[in-house]
Amino acid sequence: MSDQARFGVLMANLGTPEAPTPEAVRTYLGEFLWDPRVIDISRPVWWAILNGFVLRTRPKKVAEAYASIWTEDGSPLMSVSLKQQRALKAELKARFGVDVPVALAMTYGKPSMEEAGLELRRAGVERIVVLPMYPQFSRSTTAAVFDRLAKALKPCPHLPELRMIRDFHDHPGYIKALANSVREHWQQLGKQGHLLMSYHGVPKRYAEEGDPYPRHCERTSALVAEELGLGPDEWTMTYQSRFGREEWLKPYTDEVLTAWGKEGREHVDVMCPAFSADCLETLEEIAMQNKEFFQDAGGGEYHYIPALNDRDDHVAMLASLVEQHTQGW
């Protein structure tokens, strides 16, 4: 092989505000919540709700939540994503023997799909593996990456060849990395109680219309439990982060933890397998807010097991996915 890779990788995640301020959050939410993949109700109706109520009331509260987890390196999601980008690039070089361009893009906010595409174009890339950082497919996440990339490419006179990794919810390397993270947590603190696997929710209607997301989540959970040797009474699966009044996938994480607290459960470990990088929904909603729900209701010890982030086994699995999808290139 020459010293120039025959392909590049486009890593994609959701996005993040550029600062923990109401103004930055309003800009981010305005783009995120306007996507019909995320909120698919009538555009005129949703425009009135979004601009007349949501973007007037929600940014301040969300900015406060971001401020509680913001670091010297900025948004945790961005910081972790950049580490993943560098680690994947190093792992691919070790495997292929050449530098493989790896660009990072966010579906909403920066770096944009256009910026990432230009970076790959300047690197001379003609073929791109698109790697959405969502283990389980949903139309509100992975499909939104596809839409956003297609929009970015629409004005281009020269299109690259694309291969898109749809999901990796049952990939052996992914399951093993999740299980390893739990085992390491138990080695440090001891295996003391129940394991809760909390996934980002979607409206129940999406599943009824054919979105495979809940089936993917159920499969991931069952495989992790099997890898860890857990019995049915030792783990539970729930859904978090619901928005609006519509019914979402159940059971709801906050309601389950509150109920467990009232029962006086002494210990719970919580992990979030749908998130490849720690972010607002894991660090603030799960590690802080839901811990309060559990303990204020009477529960005991509560521990959040971090997302896979830039763990070596996680990065190796991502590289294996890329290697698999570049066969024939």
Q: Do 96 and 1 meet the contact criterion of CB atoms below 8 Å apart?
A: yes
Distance CA 320, CA 327 (A): 11
Q: β-strands 8-15, 102-108: how paired?
A: parallel
Distance separating alpha carbons of residues 47 and 316, to the nearest angstrom: 43
Q: Is 281 annotated as a binding residue?
A: yes
- C-alpha distances in angstroms, 32 versus 147, 148, 189? 13, 11, 38
Provide the Cα torsion 270, 278, 56, 43; round to 10°: -90
247, 203 Cβ separation under 8 angstroms: yes
What residue numbers does the annotated binding site cover? Answer: 200, 281
What residue numbers does the annotated binding site for Fe(2+) cover? Answer: 200, 281
